């Protein structure tokens, strides 16, 4: 029943104007402020942003694993295969989790239960969602481990997470997410904790499996390098909003938001040896007191009076792209000098 | 307080209605204090030490304030019981034995016709003396031996750890009974000595643990690499880190030592008359609990409140000093 | 694993000798067991000397101790004040205290863990705060106070339970004393469980379990509880030894003729064989319980490997 409820052309996941806040003792932290994005079957959306930009919180809200309290979804819709997940009951929501959409976390060592064997943790998916017997589920666990490329899977199914290497553990996480052939995978910084050489292998495996099962993939990352090869579309988040979305190559070629531009400029490149790296000045805002106007204005080299007062809407900045900057046009073509001037 | 300061306890602290934040994004909110700063500038608030942070938390913690007030009150009446009790704790009026409350005698009379209120007030002295002296002794001995064991390691560590194990192996009450039953002194010192003897290993372990941890800190390693001597290392770099856990454990221990003294006195092995002790009075009163429960309830209540005050104080201090719990 | 056990057993030897010698020293060197036998009467010097010689008391302490330990390992614990052999006394006292301890452990496990899980899952809310305060209050009331209070309320006033326990110490009569004995540990178990649950509830693997779409019940029992109970089980294990030694107050209040009662009598009458014999066994129980707890730890947490 892969992709069962989705008609052709309709997005698999359609997040509309999602709002999430954390009610803490010293105020309300508005972590997600009207985020909208769509993911189609077989498509990869990369969500890019610093920690605190709301990229993980959005994903957690989609998965329905937000810690509540203090986190609350205060508005918007999460349409998944045409149904608004926020309107589902707890039990219906649970049945979607793991089965129809699954999540891969950053740190596989802490994300796997240290006192249960990997076989038990993989098999659990089949036991709970498909009512399979423990023995049969274990057999399926071995198959899964083989599929994600774990050598000697049959012997290792009874091992504990700490007995595997970092890369192998992340493969197990992937296997667990794939167990029930979900339609959507959310990968939250899946390779950040790994060695560079292993990162590529894990990313390749993920991309390969995504193609094989035509799944939608949301790849959350702060690493522009990871994104380039894998993603179709990029959404850049800042202070709980999407500030720019664009097809991946267009964004790399010519960003339409000063923040994206700053991120790209701060990547070291081979050809630029000897040049000072650009750094976005200042710090991300306190989510309990997001600056008025454009949230990025205190750090923006282009900021003018309008930026301090009027929050920019998402401007159409070409086919399939949008930018939440009053001066997206200037950024798109003329921004270079301004940034060089700011350096 | 500088305006930009956002108290740390906002982040996932246990007791104020803020539970854990979403795990993935917790780090982002910890940055919250940065917001009030001028962009790119230095923070306007002064950097705060563990201690001033803790003190800031404590002053606002009602548990701390109440228990500290209770303790101050107890210490004052331990030193000057006459302030609130004008009577004589030994004055007995057998005719009134076991009688209940009467005007001027709110807690009634004990089995020898002595005023229970006066005895409860005077009883604070023994408990507070034993508690503070034993804690001071155990904390000094424990942090000295434990700290040295942690700092020097090697056979010194092995020896002290085994020695601590030996004392741990002896059940406290039994040890107390055996040790104190042969003592004839009616002062508090044998009891204090015994509690120090069995109490130091607990504090020693804590001190040892925190010294070992502190020793592994990068800046301590750096200081060593720069040629800091042992004495300087211990005093300037290691001791300050080990002090906090020892203080926490010692405060809680103070409460339990007071309870231990009372229990030993109850078993007839702790303090001895004519010392006025809640433990002794409770022990005497226990025989008459069916007819005159007031004789037991008042000293028992005073004892429990005293122990509670110290344990709560320790608990509050631990919460304030342990950043992990935030 | 085997090597670890052997190493631990070897480490236990000096601790065992140290602890028992300390008690032995206190009893034999500080007190005068012979004088105690005669009570208030002054003993006839010749008889006293004879007894001293028979009991090996005319030897220096460093020779008395090995002699005494040698006797113990042959099963000869000496004679109690009432003429019974200490071994006989033990065979009646230990089963009683063991039963009392088991009742206490069961109570502290069930009530403590349930309360701890309950408040840990509601960290920071009203239930949690009240449970926390309640545990502090319970810890602050010494056992001999809570013992008399519960005995008075349940045993005397409401007559729900027997205020004192018969010599055979049947289980149903041990419920109230067991509760009294368990109270302080119960509070610790509650706090420990609560902290552990609250900490682990935020752990990544619990989030994973939720993301897997497991029912809440399964997340709690299979993933959260399993991990959170490791420190609790450890505490309860070490508590067995402490409870057996600490039963002295409870046994006195409820007139239970167990280890604590016999020891108390032994100390009052300065009967050295009873005191040293019982304490020796208690120290052994304590040490072995600690060893078992360490081994249990490795079973519960596969990350721990003993070499």
CATH classification of the domain holding B313: 1.10.3720.10
CA distance A73 to chain B (A): 13
Whether residue B57 sits in one domain with residue B43 = no
Residues B159, B269, single domain; the answer is yes
pLDDT reported for residue B13: 28
Nearest CA to B22 out of C126, A49, A222, A21 is that of: A21
* Number of A–C residue contacts, CB under 8 Å: 74
pLDDT, tens only, B48-73: 566 777 788 788 888 889 999 999 99
Residue B303 lies in a domain: yes
Same domain, yes or no: B33 and B58: no
Q: Which residues of A touch C (CB under 8 A)?
A: 63, 65, 67, 94-99, 102-103, 105, 107, 110-116, 124-125, 128-129, 160, 162, 176
- Whole-number Cα distances in Å, B232 to B156, B228, B229, B237: 20, 6, 5, 8
Best of C133, C137, C139 to substitute, by most chain B Cβ atoms within 10 angstroms, is C139
Q: Which of B61, B169, B182, B254 is the best substitution to test chain C (most C C-beta atoms within 10 A)?
A: B169
Cα distances from A212 to residues A181, A183, A198, A200, A287, in angstroms, run 10, 12, 21, 18, 40
C285-304, pLDDT tens digit by residue? Answer: 888 888 888 888 878 888 87
Phi, psi of A247 (to 5 degrees): -60, 145
B210 found inside a domain: yes
CA distance C111 to A133: 33
- The shortest C-alpha distance from C301 to chain A (Å) reads 6
- Could C214 and A112 be called an inter-chain contact, meaning their C-beta atoms sit closer than 8 Å? no
Query: Which structural domain range is residue B31 located in?
Result: 7-47
Closest Cβ–Cβ partner in C124, C143, C267 for B181: C267
Between B179 and C56, name the one with better pLDDT.
Answer: B179
Of the candidates C204, C210, C212, which has its C-beta nearest A107's C-beta? C204
> What is the predicted pLDDT for the residue at B24?
28
Q: Count other Cβ atoms within 10 Å, centred on residue C274.
A: 27
Q: What ipTM was reported for this prediction?
A: 0.86
Asked if B38 and B122 sit in the same domain, the reply is: no
Give the tokens for residue C81: 């004040």
Pick the residue with more confidence: A325 or B17?
Answer: A325
Is A137 within 8 Å of chain B by CB? no
Residue of C nearest to A122 (CA): C212
Enter the tokens of residue B99: 């009688």
Do residue B142 and residue B253 come from a single domain?
Answer: yes
B166–C22 C-beta distance less than 8 A: yes
Q: Is C214 near chain A, with CB under 8 Å?
A: yes
> C86 φ, ψ to 5°?
-60, -35
Across the interface, whether the CB atoms of A113 and C209 are under 8 A apart is answered yes
Same domain, yes or no: B35 and B87: no
B42 and B59 belong to one structural domain: no
Nearest to C205 among A67, A95, A110 (CB): A110
pLDDT, tens only, C18-27: 888 888 887 7
User: Are the CB atoms for B317 and B249 separated by under 8 Å?
Assistant: no
Rounded to whole angstroms, the Cα distance separating B140 from B53 reads 26
Structure tokens at C213: 């779409």
Kind and range of the H or E run holding A242: strand A241-247
In a domain, B1, yes or no: no
What is the phi/psi pair of residue B307, to 5°?
Answer: -60, -45
Is some CB atom of chain C closer than 8 A to the CB atom of B54? no
Answer yes or no: do B169 and C286 touch at CB < 8 A: yes
Which parts of chain C sit beneath pLDDT 70?
A: 1, 29-43, 55, 81, 306-307
B73 and B12 in one domain?
Answer: no
Please state which CATH class domain A11-109+182-231 belongs to: alpha beta
Per-residue pLDDT 10s for chain A (343 aa) are 444 444 445 688 898 899 998 887 778 888 888 898 889 888 899 998 888 888 889 999 999 888 877 888 888 889 888 888 888 888 888 988 988 999 998 888 889 999 899 999 999 999 989 888 999 999 999 999 998 888 988 889 999 999 998 889 989 999 999 888 999 999 998 888 778 888 888 888 888 888 888 889 999 988 777 777 788 899 999 988 999 999 988 888 888 888 888 888 777 766 656 666 677 777 888 888 888 888 888 888 887 888 888 888 888 888 888 888 888 887 877 655 555 554 4
* Residues forming beta bridges with residue A37, ordered by sequence position: A15
Q: Give DSSP secondary structure letters for C90-135.
A: HHHHHHHHHHHHHHHHHHHHHHHHHHHHHHHHTTTSHHHHHHHHHH
Note whether residue B134 is domain-resident.
yes
Same domain as B103, residue B32: no
**CB nearest C203 (choices: A110, A116, A128):** A110
User: Under an 8 A CB cutoff, do C30 and B16 touch?
Assistant: no
Q: Is residue B318 within 8 Å of B249, Cβ to Cβ? A: no
Distant-in-sequence, close-in-space partners of B220: CB < 8 Å, separation ≥ 6: B214, B233, B237, B238
Interchain proximity B304–C123, CB inside 8 Å:
no
- Cβ of A283 under 8 Å from any chain B Cβ? yes
B104 Rama class: left (phi>0) / alpha (psi -120 to 50) / beta:
left
Inter-chain contacts counted by CB atoms under 8 A, chains B and C? 149
pLDDT value, residue C34: 67
Cβ-defined contact of C213 to A114 (cutoff 8 Å): no
* Six-digit token string for A203: 């990313």
CB contact under 8 A, B25 and A299: no
Q: Is the pTM of this model over 0.90?
A: no
Name, in order, each residue with C-beta under 8 angstroms of A133's C-beta and a sequence gap of 6 or more. A127
Q: A25 and B17: CB-CB below 8 Å?
A: yes
In whole numbers, what is the pLDDT of chain B averaged over residues? Answer: 75
Cα–Cα separations (whole angstroms), residue C211 to A102, A198, A206, A226, B325 = 7, 25, 18, 24, 26
Instruction: Name every residue whose Cβ is closer than 8 Å to that of residue C274 and which is 6 or more positions away in sequence.
Output: C78, C80, C81, C86, C89, C262, C263, C265, C266
The pLDDT tens digits for B301-316 are: 999 999 999 988 888 8
Nearest-Cα distance to chain A for C190, in Å, is: 22
For residue B31, what is the nearest residue in chain A, using CA coordinates?
A286
pLDDT at B1: 30
| pLDDT given for residue A273 in this prediction | 60
Report the chain C residue with the minimal C-alpha distance to residue B306.
C140
DSSP C209-272: HHHTT--HHHIIIIIIIHHHHHHHHHHHHHHHHHHHHHHHHHHHHTT--SHHHHHHHHHHTT-H
**pLDDT at position B23, please?**
27
Cα-based distances in Å from C210 to A183, B131, C203, C278: 18, 48, 11, 52
Q: Give how far A88 is from chain B: nearest CA, Å.
A: 21
* Predicted pLDDT at C37: 63
Q: By C-alpha distance, which of A340, A222, A323, A328 is closest to A276? A: A340
Q: Considering its fold, how many domains does chain B have in total? A: 2
Q: Are B173 and B276 within one domain? A: yes
- Across the interface, whether the CB atoms of A128 and C210 are under 8 A apart is answered no
Torsion of Cα atoms, A269 then A208 then A214 then A78, to 10°: -50
Give ranges for CATH 3.40.50.300 in chain A. Answer: 11-109+182-231
> Which subunits have 3 or more CB–CB pairs within 8 Å of chain C?
A, B
Residue C216: closest C-alpha in chain A: A94
Cα distance from N-terminal residue to C-terminal residue, chain A: 54
Query: How long a stretch of residues is chain C?
Result: 307
DSSP H/E element including C35 = helix C33-37
Nearest to C136 by CA among C196, C188, C177, C178: C188
Of A128, A160, A176, the CB nearest to C218: A128
Q: Is B181 on the interface with C (CB under 8 A)?
A: yes
- Whether B157 and B205 have beta carbons less than 8 Å apart is answered as no
Whether B43 and B56 share a structural domain: no
CB-based contact B39 A52, cutoff 8 Å: no
Answer whether B177 touches C (CB < 8 Å).
yes
Q: Do C249 and B266 touch (CB under 8 A)?
A: yes
d(CA C94, CA C75): 15
3-state DSSP assignment of residue B105: strand
Rounded to the nearest 5 percent, the helix, strand and coil shares of chain C are: 80, 0, 20
C223 contacts in chain A (CB < 8 Å) = 113, 116
Q: Do C264 and B177 touch (CB under 8 A)?
A: yes
Alpha helices in chain B (DSSP H): 26-30, 50-59, 62-79, 116-152, 154-169, 172-181, 189-215, 218-225, 230-232, 239-266, 278-286, 294-321
- Quick check: B308 contacting C, CB < 8 Å? yes
Q: Supply the DSSP string of B135-201, one letter for each residue.
A: HHHHHHHHHHHHHHHHHH-HHHHHHHHHHHHHHHHS-HHHHHHHHHHT----SSHHHHHHHHHHHHH
CB neighbour burial string for B114-129, b if at least 16 within 10 angstroms, e if fewer: bbbbbbbbbbbbbbbb
Question: Residues B32, B133: one domain?
Answer: no
The stretches of chain A forming alpha helices (DSSP H) are 55-63, 90-96, 108-111, 118-130, 134-147, 153-156, 166-178, 196-213, 224-230, 248-253, 258-265, 305-309, 328-329, 335-342
A298/B25 Cβ within 8 A:
no
* Tokens at B120, concatenated: 């409860």
Q: How far is CA C18 from CA B150, C6, C283, in A?
A: 22, 19, 10
Burial class (CB in 10 A: 0-12, 13-18, 19+), A178: buried
Q: Does B246 fall in a domain?
A: yes
- Nearest CA to CA, how far is C301 from chain B (Å)? 22
Structure confidence at residue B289 (pLDDT): 78
By three-state DSSP, how is residue A6 classified?
A: coil
């Amino acid at each position: 029943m892969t992709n069962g409820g989705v008609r052709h052309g309709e997005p698999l996941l359609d997040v509309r104007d999602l709002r999430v806040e954390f009610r803490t003792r010293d105020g309300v932290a508005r972590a997600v402020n009207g985020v909208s994005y769509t993911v189609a079957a077989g498509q990869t959306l990369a969500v890019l942003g610093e920690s605190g930009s709301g990229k993980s919180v959005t994903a957690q809200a989609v998965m329905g694993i937000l810690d509540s309290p203090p986190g609350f979804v205060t508005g918007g819709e999460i349409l998944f295969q045409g149904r608004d997940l926020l309107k589902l009951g707890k039990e219906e929501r649970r049945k979607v989790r793991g089965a129809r959409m699954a999540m891969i976390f950053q740190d596989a060592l802490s994300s796997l239960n240290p006192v249960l064997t990997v076989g038990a943790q993989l098999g659990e998916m089949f036991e709970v969602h498909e009512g399979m017997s423990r023995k049969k589920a274990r057999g399926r666990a071995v198959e899964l481990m083989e599929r994600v490329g774990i050598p000697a899977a049959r012997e290792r199914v009874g091992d504990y997470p700490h007995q595997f290497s970092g890369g192998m553990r992340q493969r197990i996480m992937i296997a667990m997410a794939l167990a029930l052939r979900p339609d959507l995978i959310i990968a939250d910084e899946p390779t950040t904790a790994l060695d560079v050489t292993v990162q590529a292998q894990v990313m390749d495996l993920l991309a390969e499996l995504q193609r094989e099962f035509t799944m939608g993939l949301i790849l959350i990352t702060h690493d522009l390098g990871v994104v380039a090869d894998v993603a179709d579309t990029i959404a850049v988040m800042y202070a709980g909003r999407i500030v720019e979305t664009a097809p991946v190559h267009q964004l790399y070629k010519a960003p339409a938001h000063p923040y994206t531009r700053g991120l790209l400029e701060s990547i070291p490149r081979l050809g630029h040896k000897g040049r000072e790296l650009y750094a976005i000045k200042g710090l991300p805002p306190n989510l309990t007191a997001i600056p008025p106007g454009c949230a990025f204005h205190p750090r923006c080299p282009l900021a003018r009076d309008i930026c301090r007062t009027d929050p920019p809407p998402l401007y159409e900045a070409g086919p399939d792209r949008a930018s939440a900057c009053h001066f997206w046009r200037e950024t798109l073509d003329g921004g270079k000098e301004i940034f060089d001037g700011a350096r | 307080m500088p305006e930009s300061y956002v108290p740390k306890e906002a982040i996932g602290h246990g007791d104020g209605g803020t539970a854990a934040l979403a795990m993935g994004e917790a780090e982002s909110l910890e940055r919250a204090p940065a917001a009030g700063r001028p962009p790119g500038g230095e923070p306007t608030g002064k950097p705060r030490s563990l201690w001033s942070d803790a003190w800031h938390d404590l002053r606002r913690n009602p548990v701390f304030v109440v228990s500290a007030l209770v303790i101050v009150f107890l210490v004052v009446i331990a030193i000057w019981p006459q302030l609130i009790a004008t009577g004589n704790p030994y004055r007995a009026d057998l005719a009134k034995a076991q009688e209940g409350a009467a005007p001027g005698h709110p807690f009634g009379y004990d089995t020898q016709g002595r005023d229970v209120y006066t005895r409860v007030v005077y009883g604070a002295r023994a408990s507070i003396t034993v508690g503070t002296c034993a804690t001071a002794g155990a904390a000094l001995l424990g942090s000295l031996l434990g700290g040295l064991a942690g700092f020097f390691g090697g056979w010194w560590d092995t020896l002290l750890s085994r020695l601590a194990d030996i004392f741990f192996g002896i059940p406290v009450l039994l040890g107390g009974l055996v040790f104190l039953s042969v003592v004839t002194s009616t002062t508090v010192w044998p009891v204090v000595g015994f509690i120090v003897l069995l109490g130091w290993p607990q504090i020693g372990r804590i001190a040892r643990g925190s010294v070992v941890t502190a020793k592994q800190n990068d800046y301590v390693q750096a200081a060593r690499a720069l040629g800091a001597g042992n004495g300087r290392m211990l005093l300037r770099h290691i001791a300050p880190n080990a002090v906090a856990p020892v203080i926490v454990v010692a405060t809680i221990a103070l409460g339990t030592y007071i309870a231990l003294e009372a229990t030993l006195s109850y078993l007839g092995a702790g303090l001895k008359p004519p010392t006025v002790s809640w433990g002794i009075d409770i022990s005497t009163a226990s025989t008459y609990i069916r007819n005159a429960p007031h004789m037991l309830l008042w000293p028992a209540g005073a004892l429990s409140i005293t122990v509670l005050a110290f344990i709560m104080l320790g608990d509050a201090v631990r919460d304030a000093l342990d950043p992990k719990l935030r | 694993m085997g090597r670890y056990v052997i190493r631990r057993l070897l480490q236990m030897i000096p601790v065992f000798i140290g602890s028992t010698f300390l008690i032995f020293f206190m009893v034999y060197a500080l007190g005068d067991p012979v004088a105690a036998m005669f009570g208030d009467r002054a003993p006839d010097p010749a008889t006293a000397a004879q007894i001293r010689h028979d009991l090996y008391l005319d030897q220096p302490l460093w020779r008395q101790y090995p002699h005494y330990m040698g006797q113990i390992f042959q099963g000869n614990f000496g004679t109690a004040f009432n003429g019974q052999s200490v071994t006989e006394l033990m065979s009646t006292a230990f089963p009683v205290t063991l039963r009392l301890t088991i009742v206490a452990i069961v109570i502290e496990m069930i009530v403590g863990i349930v309360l701890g899980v309950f408040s840990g899952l509601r960290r920071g809310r009203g239930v949690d705060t009240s449970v926390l305060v309640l545990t502090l209050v319970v810890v602050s009331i010494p056992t001999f106070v809570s013992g008399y209070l519960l005995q008075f309320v349940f045993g005397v006033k409401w007559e729900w339970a027997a205020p004192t326990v018969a010599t055979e110490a049947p289980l149903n009569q041990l419920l109230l004393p067991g509760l009294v004995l368990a109270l302080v540990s119960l509070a610790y178990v509650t706090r420990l469980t609560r902290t552990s649950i609250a900490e682990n509830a935020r752990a990544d693997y619990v989030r994973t379990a939720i993301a897997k779409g497991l029912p809440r019940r399964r997340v709690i029992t299979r993933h959260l509880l399993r991990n959170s109970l490791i420190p609790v089980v450890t505490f309860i294990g070490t508590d067995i030894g402490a409870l057996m030694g600490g039963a002295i107050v409870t046994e006195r209040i409820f007139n239970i003729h167990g280890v604590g009662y016999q020891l108390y009598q032994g100390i009052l009458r300065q009967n050295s064989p009873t005191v040293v014999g019982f304490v020796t066994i208690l120290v052994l129980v304590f040490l072995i319980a600690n060893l078992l707890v360490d081994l249990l730890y490795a079973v519960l947490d596969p990350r721990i490997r003993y070499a």
